Structure 1
Amino acid sequence: MTPHVPALPAMGVVALLRALLKRPRRPLPSALPEIVTEYRLDRLPLDDIARYRAAFGFPGEHIPLTWWYLPAQRAHLAT
């Protein structure tokens, strides 16, 4: 049996016009400061990568493509 999911409320004309005509409250500054961040991975954690391969069933000795998301995620969360 499929669970019942209620329908989204209808978009009224007033709400649609308000969304279409909405303007920013204050102008953005003409020049935003440059944000410079640098992250380094001096060496690959081969033991951690081996445990990752074993945990998720990747065969061989290569670095799984999905492993590269882990350091990228840390960098994204840090900024």
Structure 2
Amino acid sequence: MHPNYLYSENEDLLVFAGLYEFWPDPALPEDYPGKWLLTCTVLTATAHDTLGHIHDRAPVIVPREMWADSLDPDTRDKTKV
């Protein structure tokens, strides 16, 4: 198997959409340093023809004009993210 990687043709950043969450372990005391577990995931969609030969799923790439809104925790307008 050959390694594969994604890159931008104009050498710009590729920003993937993702989710994260902190989960507390209810069995541990509040002040325990390891109480919280951080989990994360990269969102995917059906791969387009250019990536379909590698895998049937591809990461959702966030366009540059949406970076600020997608990272702003106060964004509530679904049309901006």
TM-score of the two chains, using structure 2 as the length reference? 0.23
Structure with higher Rg: it is 1
1 or 2, which has the higher strand percentage?
2
1 or 2, which has the higher helix percentage?
1
TM-score of the two chains, using structure 1 as the length reference? 0.23
User: Which has the bigger relative contact order, CA under 8 A and spacing at least 6?
Assistant: 2
